[in-house]
Amino acid sequence: MTDSTIIWHNPRCSKSRQTLALLEARGGALDVRDYMEDTPSVAELKAVMKMLGFASAHEWLRKAEPDYRELGLKAVEDEEALFKAMTKFPKLIERPVVIHGDKAMIGRPPEQVLELF
């Protein structure tokens, strides 16, 4: 695998900004992806979910987001429907996501992502 690191970043999120600052201070190749503008595909979400070690998309959803309640996602069991909702409403994706090699981690707390290296 490569030594580069990817962060799915939301510049409006303080945890995402803190995680990005930690990664920039660490140095090394860093690809910053504003996932609100460049939304991951369903295939990308599925691949990264495996890297995160999650068994279900429900583990990755931001349950406090208004879209989560308005779309009634708590009751949705169809994983494909959950992934499609995440691509249509990227605010639902828990952030930031840091991908390094074949592993990924959510930056909550931001310092946690340093375990990837």
- DSSP code at position 93: B
Phi, psi for 13 (deg, rounded to 5): -100, 125
Identify the active-site residue in 6, 9, 12, 13: 13
Task: Find the length of the chain.
Answer: 117
Q: Quick check: 47 and 98 in contact, CB under 8 A?
A: no
**Known catalytic membership, residue 13:** yes
Cα dihedral 97, 13, 88, 75, rounded to 10, equals 80
**Backbone CA torsion sign across 57, 60, 63, 68:** negative
Q: Annotated catalytic sites, by residue?
A: 13
